[in-house]
Amino acid sequence: MARGFLDGYKTYDTSKGFGNAKQWNNAFRERMSKEDATAILQEQQETPWAILGVSTSATKAEIKKAFRLMIIQWHPDKNQHRLPEAEAMSKKIIAAYTMLS
C-alpha cells in the first residue's frame, strides 16, 4: 500500500503536545520571558531593531518577517559547523523578537 504525503501527519498525536496555534504561542513565551530577553540584550551593544535588521518604525508584520528570516538563517540545526556562534545568535534573535513583539 502506498503511503501519502500527509499520512504521518494524520496519525500525529497532539493531545500531549502543542497542537494548536495558541498552545504554540504560549510555549514560545514560556521559553523566553521578557526578563530573560532583557538580560540577554543588556549584554549586547546592539538594539533589538539592529539585531533583526529593521527600522525603529517597523510594523509588527515587518518585525515578524525579519525574525523568521533571521532565525532560519541562524538556526543551530543549519549551522552545525559553527554551533556556538549559531546558538548565541539564535538567543539574540529570539530575545530581540520577544522584546519587540
pLDDT digits (tens, 9 = 90+) for 50-90: 999 999 999 999 999 999 999 999 988 888 888 889 888 98
pLDDT digits (tens, 9 = 90+) for 91-100: 899 999 999 9
For the chain, domains (ranges, CATH) are 35-101 (1.10.287.110)
Cell numbers at 46, concatenated: 546592539
3-state secondary structure of 45: coil
Q: What is the pTM of this model?
A: 0.68
Q: How far, in Å, CA of 18 to CA of 26, rounded? A: 9
